[in-house]
Amino acid sequence: MTGDPDFTIGNRISLGSYHFTEEAIVEFARKFDPQPFHTDPEAARDSLFGGLCASGWHTTAIWMKLNVATTLKRFEERARNGWPVYEFGPSPGFRNLRWIRPVFAGQTISYFNTLTAIKPYRGRKDWSMLLGSAEALDEDGAPVMTFDSAVLSAYPSEHAQEG
């Protein structure tokens, strides 16, 4: 399908923003990344970071939460507008995850996906591998996290495109 806005190479989609509170940072870190600079505001002040900051995994988990919510919203919009709704998932993984800057309590981070390529999937003409770049930006537009994503989709491989 030509001209499909959701399957156009270079299309950058906003996933939304998330405000990192001290409480949310500590709660996540206690469960999944219990290091003092994530769990103890006082100890964090004496750390390399100089203050309480979110686990990189927390920053990444929020990307996933917003990514799924945005995808489901797009499915609804596509159906409402008469566009085909293609099954998504699973993902074979991601590459080049980078936590570039710490995310401190009180910061609001904005998340984005950019479609970089659509590749045929192993001889299945009814599926494609969607490749993309994910980024999280602070209030000044500076990147705090980036990675290269991949997800399978029932988007016909006849529409494969390189970026």
User: What's 150's domain CATH number?
Assistant: 3.10.129.10
Mean of pLDDT over the chain: 93
Tell me which residue range forms the domain holding 122.
5-159
> Does residue 132 surpass a pLDDT of 80?
yes
Least-confidence region, from 8-12, 55-59, 72-76, 153-157 = 153-157
The CA radius of gyration of the chain, in Å to the nearest whole number, is 18
**pTM reported for the whole predicted model:** 0.92
pLDDT tens string 42-63: 999 999 999 999 999 999 999 9
Q: What is the pLDDT of residue 1?
A: 43
- Residues 107, 20 contacting (CB under 8 angstroms): yes
Domains contained in the chain, number:
1
Q: Does 2 score more than 60 pLDDT? A: no
Mean pLDDT of the region 152-159: 81
Q: How far apart are CA 116 and CA 8, in angstroms?
A: 9
